[in-house]
Amino acid sequence: MKPEELERLRQHYDHTDLSGSIDRAGLDTDVDPNPMVTTSLRLPKDVLDWVREQAEDQHTKPTALIRQWIEERRGQTRDLEARLSRLEQAVFDRAAD
């Protein structure tokens, strides 16, 4: 922002009563409980090139495809944990008989 614009804004807010606007303001409680966040990922160039090709074939962005793969893997992990838990329970139930 240019210095002149900053000065104009400073003058405006230094001499403007905003109490009415503040009194009418409300708290926005519509908040995403699981917001998207950003992370950095280093990949070898040939791997990233391959991801880009896969994404182009699926008409999506590489980042969206990577996210999809991670979420799919996460779902498989949860399924595996549930299956293992049921198997352990069955083994323990038989051992108790």
Domain ranges in the chain?
A: 43-96
Residue 48: the pLDDT is 97
Tokens of 64: 């969206």
pTM of the model: 0.55
Collapse the DSSP code of 7 into the 3-class scheme (helix H, G, I; strand E, B; otherwise coil) and give the result. Answer: helix
User: If you count DSSP H runs as helices and E runs as strands, how many of each does the chain have, helices first?
Assistant: 4, 0
Tokens of 14: 């230094």
Q: Residue 83 has what pLDDT?
A: 84
Which pLDDT belongs to residue 54? 98
pLDDT for 37-92, tens place per residue?
999 999 999 999 999 999 999 999 999 999 999 999 888 888 888 888 888 888 88
